[in-house]
Chains A and B, each alone.
Chain A
Amino acid sequence: MTLQSEPQMGRSLWHDAWLVLRRNRAAMVSLMLLVLLTAAVLIVPLVSTHTVDETDWAFMSVSPGFSHGHWFGTDGLGRDLLVRTFYGGRISLLVGVVATLVSLIIGITYGAVSGYVGGRVDQFMMRAVDILYALPFMFLVILLMVFFGRNIFLIFIAIGAINWLDMARIVRGQTLSLKHREFIEAARAGGVTMPKIIWRHVVPNLMGVVVVYVTLTIPQVILVESFLSFLGLGVQEPMTSWGALVNEGAQEMESAPWLLVFPAAFLTLTLFCFNFLGDGLRDALDPRDRNAP
C-alpha cells in the first residue's frame, strides 16, 4: 500500500472568494455576459460584411430586420447599426479599462507610499487628496476637453487622473494596517529597500480591495466617457462610442427609435453587469464578512 500524500491545498484568499462568488447567481451571470460582450465587441466588427462608416445607399434609415442584412437597422447615413454598436462598445470598454488602469497606477502608488512612509508625509499627502476631492471634476474634465481638443488619449488621461483619489484612500488605509505585520518587518530587517517592499510585499496584499474597486470603477469611467460623448465633447467621428451613439439616437428617436434603443440597451447592460459583479466581489473579498454565512 502506497501512501499517496496529496499536497495540502491552501485556502487562499482567491480560492475562498471564488467559492463565495460562485454561489452568487447575479454576479456569475454578469461575469459570463461581460466575457461574451467583450468577445463580441472584439469579433463582430472584424467578421461583419459592413464597416463602421460605410454608407449603404440602398438601405438608408431602415428598421431592424434580417432581409436586408442590417440586423439592427441603419442610421440616416445608411451606416449599419449592428457594427456601429459593437464598434462603439469596443471604444467604451477600451476607455473604461485603460482609464481605470491609469487611475489604478496613480492611486496605488500614491496610497501605498503615503501609508507606508507615514507621519508628516502621510498627513500632507492625504490633506492634498482631501482638497482635490472637493473639486467638481466633471467640470474640469469638460474644461480639458474644450481647451485641448477632443482626442481619445486625452480622455484616457483626464478620466484616469480624476478617478485615483478613492483608490489612494483605500490603498493607504490597507497599507497602514499591513505595514506593522511580521513579514514586512522581516523584509525591512533583511535590508530590502523601501520601493521594493512597497511593490513586492505591500501591493500584492492589496489586490483583493483593488479588484473590487476596479470592477466598480470601470462602469463609472464608461459612464463619464458616455456622458462626454453624449454632449459631443468625447470621441469624434469617424470613431464612435455608446455615448455618442445614444446621442445620435436621441436626436432621431421619433422617426427611428432603434437608433436609441440598441446602443442604450448595450450600455445599460454593461453597466448593470459591472455593478452586480462588483457587489458580488465585494461580498466575496471583503474580509469583514469572512465568517458570514
Chain B
Amino acid sequence: MLKFFVHRLLSAIPTLFILIGLAFCLIRVAPGGPFDGEKQLPPEIEANLRAAYHLDEPLYQQFGRYMLNLAQGDFGPSFQYRDFTVTELIGSGFPVSLQLGALAMILAVFFGVLAGSVAALRQNSATDYSVMATAMIGISVPNFVMAPLLILFFAVTLRWLPAGGLEGWRNLILPVVCLALPQIAYIARLTRGSMIEVLRSPFIRTARAQGLSMRRILFLHLLKPSLLPVISYLGPATAAVITGSVVIEQIFGLPGLGRFFVQGALNRDYTLVMGVVVFYGTLIIAFNFIVDVIYAWLDPRVRL
C-alpha cells in the first residue's frame, strides 16, 4: 500500500509541474504585454515597471520566483481588478463554487447510484429502459442548454425559483441540479453496468443459493464491488463539475470562481486566469490522487 502511495504521488507531482510550467510558458509567449495601453509609455517608466514586476530577469529566474510565490499561496496581483491580488479574488469566489460543486457531487452520487442500482436489479424491464433513456438525455443535453431551459420553465414561466443571484439557498437549487444532472446520468450508467457484471459472478449465486434475502445480498455483497467503478469515476466527475460550474456560475450570475475566470478570460486578465487554472488544476490533481489511493485501499488488486 505504501509503495502504491509513493508511486502514485511520484506521478502526481510531475503532472503539477507540467501544468504550472505550461501555464507559465503560455503567459510568457502570449502576444501583447501587460503594459500595452493606448498610450505608449516612456521607455524609462516601462523599464521601471518591468523591473518592479521582475520581468527583466531571465526566464528560469522568473519561473523559480513564480513557483516560490505559488508555494506561499501568492498568485500575484490581478491586472484587471487593480486593488485586489489574485489570491484575494480566489478567496472570495471559491467558497461559493465549493458549495455549488460539493452539493452537486453529493446529489450526483446519491441519485446516480440509486437509479443505476434500480435499473440493474430490474434488468431489461420497463423501469430499466426508462432509467437508461433518461440517462441518455442527461448525457446528451449540455448543461449550458439545460440551464436556460430550466430558468425559462421554473423561473420565468412558473416563477417558483429565482433565476439568478445569490440571496439564499433557493438560489442554489437550479444551478446545483443543472450541474448534477449529467453526472447523475454517467454514474447511473456506470453503476448499472458494473452491478450487472457483479450479479453474474459466482459469489452472488452462492449467496442466493444459501437463501439470503435480496436486501441482505444487496447491502452486504453486491454494493461494494459494484461501486468500485463509480469511485474511480469520482476523479473525472470532479473535473467535469468544476468545468461545468464555470458556465453555470456565468448563467446564474453566481459570484463564484468560475465567473471570475470567464470575466478574466474575456478581459485578458492574465494573472487571474493563470491563478484560477493553477488553483483548479491543483485541486483536480489532488482529488484524483486521493480517489486513486482510496480505490487502491478498497480494491487490493490494483496495488500490484
| Complexed CA–CA distance, A127 and B10 (Å) | 11
A29 contact set on B, CB distance < 8 A: none
| Minimal Cβ-Cβ distance residue in A for B274 | A143
Are A127 and B11 within 8 A (Cβ)? yes
| Complexed CA–CA distance, A40 and B237 (Å) | 35
| Complexed CA–CA distance, A231 and B246 (Å) | 9
Q: Is A13 located at the chain interface by the 8 A CB criterion?
A: no
| Complexed CA–CA distance, A272 and B139 (Å) | 8
Knowing A146-B265, A146-B273, A232-B266 are in contact, say whether A135-B145 is a contact too (CB < 8 A).
Answer: no
Q: Please encode chain A, from 253 to 269, with 1 for each CB lying within 8 Å of some chain B CB and 0 for all others.
A: 11001001000100110
Knowing A148-B31, A254-B156 are in contact, say whether A264-B250 is a contact too (CB < 8 A).
Answer: no
Q: Is A139 located at the chain interface by the 8 A CB criterion?
A: yes
| Minimal Cβ-Cβ distance residue in B for A263 | B145
B277 contact set on A, CB distance < 8 A: 136, 139-140, 142-143
Q: Per a CB cutoff under 8 Å, which of A143, A147, A233, A246 touches B145? A: A246
Knowing A135-B15, A140-B22 are in contact, say whether A268-B140 is a contact too (CB < 8 A).
Answer: yes
Knowing A138-B243, A267-B142 are in contact, say whether A131-B14 is a contact too (CB < 8 A).
Answer: yes
B247 contact set on A, CB distance < 8 A: 227, 230-231
A257 contact set on B, CB distance < 8 A: 152
| Complexed CA–CA distance, A254 and B163 (Å) | 11
Q: Is A63 located at the chain interface by the 8 A CB criterion?
A: no
Number of A-B contacts (CB under 8 A): 118
Please classify how large the interface on chain B is, using the bins under 10, 10 to 19, 20 to 34, 35 or more. Answer: 35 or more
| Minimal Cβ-Cβ distance residue in A for B243 | A138
| Complexed CA–CA distance, A147 and B156 (Å) | 37
Q: Is B47 located at the chain interface by the 8 A CB criterion?
A: no
B262 contact set on A, CB distance < 8 A: 231-232
Within 8 A of A (CB), among B1-36: 11-12, 14-15, 18-19, 22-23, 26-27, 29-31
| Complexed CA–CA distance, A138 and B26 (Å) | 15
Within 8 A of A (CB), among B109-152: 136-137, 139-142, 144-145, 147-149, 151-152
Q: How far is the CB of B249 from chain A (nearest CB, A)?
A: 11
| Complexed CA–CA distance, A139 and B283 (Å) | 13
| Complexed CA–CA distance, A148 and B268 (Å) | 11
| Complexed CA–CA distance, A227 and B142 (Å) | 8
| Minimal Cβ-Cβ distance residue in A for B285 | A134
Q: How far is the CB of A145 from chain B (nearest CB, A)?
A: 8
Q: Is A87 located at the chain interface by the 8 A CB criterion?
A: no
Q: Please encode chain B, from 154 to 172, with 1 for each CB lying within 8 Å of some chain A CB and 0 for all others.
A: 0010000000000000000
A232 contact set on B, CB distance < 8 A: 262, 266
| Complexed CA–CA distance, A275 and B274 (Å) | 34
Are B15 and A134 within 8 A (Cβ)? yes
Are B31 and A147 within 8 A (Cβ)? yes
Q: Is B239 located at the chain interface by the 8 A CB criterion?
A: yes
| Minimal Cβ-Cβ distance residue in A for B148 | A250
A148 contact set on B, CB distance < 8 A: 30-31
| Complexed CA–CA distance, A147 and B265 (Å) | 9
Q: Is B178 located at the chain interface by the 8 A CB criterion?
A: no
Q: Is B254 located at the chain interface by the 8 A CB criterion?
A: no
Within 8 A of B (CB), among A100-143: 127, 130-132, 134-136, 138-140, 142-143
Of the A-B pairs whose beta carbons lie under 8 Å apart in the complex, a sample of 24, sorted by A's number, is: A127-B11, A131-B15, A134-B285, A135-B18, A136-B19, A136-B277, A138-B243, A139-B281, A142-B261, A142-B277, A143-B277, A146-B265, A147-B270, A227-B144, A227-B247, A231-B247, A253-B148, A253-B156, A264-B145, A264-B148, A268-B145, A271-B140, A272-B140, A275-B140
Please give me the 3 A-B residue pairs with the lowest Cβ-Cβ distance, nearest first: A147-B30, A250-B148, A271-B140
